Amino acid sequence: MFKKRLILIFAVILSLVIAGCNDEESIEKKEEVIQHNWNESPLFESGSYTMIGEEGRLGFIYDDGEVVRFYPDKVQKYMWHFWGEEQELEGELKVVATHENDDEEIYVTGGGLSSANNGADKHTPSHMSLPKSGMWKLDAYI
């Protein structure tokens, strides 16, 4: 009887140790995936403007000039453009940013969408500012 309990206790402890190691491995793998997927979005042309984002889905007017470059804590104006089905584009825009070295998400901008513009199905102007330098991921939700 004592042997069976000892084996059961040992099995439970071994299971917990193995489960703990697997969770740590999956967290490390997720962090690797996150780090490897941080690439600057491509530039593309729409209408007479250069945009940054995902061509045919979303983007905002951007070039490497002084006027539209991001600077820490400096509010700049950006014109967002969206392509998609009418039902996808109904609602309010919400943009959340995450810094490459931090998991904290910050609200960047939001608002309603207007009519078609510059080849896109919908558009909206925005004022955005990022609090520190580095690479940022912008997630746009409608």
Q: Are strands 105-112 and 58-61 parallel, antiparallel or unpaired?
A: unpaired
- Token pair of 124 as six digits: 């909206």
Write out the H or E segment, with its range, that includes residue 141. Answer: strand 136-141
pLDDT digits (tens, 9 = 90+) for 59-103: 988 876 655 678 888 998 999 999 999 999 999 999 999 999 988
Q: Is the pLDDT of residue 25 over 70?
A: no
C-alpha Rg value of the chain to the nearest Å: 23
CATH number for position 65: 2.60.40.3830
Tell me: do 31 and 84 sit in the same domain.
no
In which domain, by residue range, is 19 found?
1-37
pLDDT digits (tens, 9 = 90+) for 29-69: 555 444 546 888 899 999 889 999 999 999 988 876 655 67
Collect all residues with Cβ–Cβ distance below 8 Å to 77 and sequence separation of at least 6: 125, 126, 127
Tell me: do 134 and 112 sit in the same domain.
yes
CA atoms within 13 A on the CB side of 40: 10
pTM above 0.75, yes or no: no
Tell me: do 118 and 64 sit in the same domain.
yes
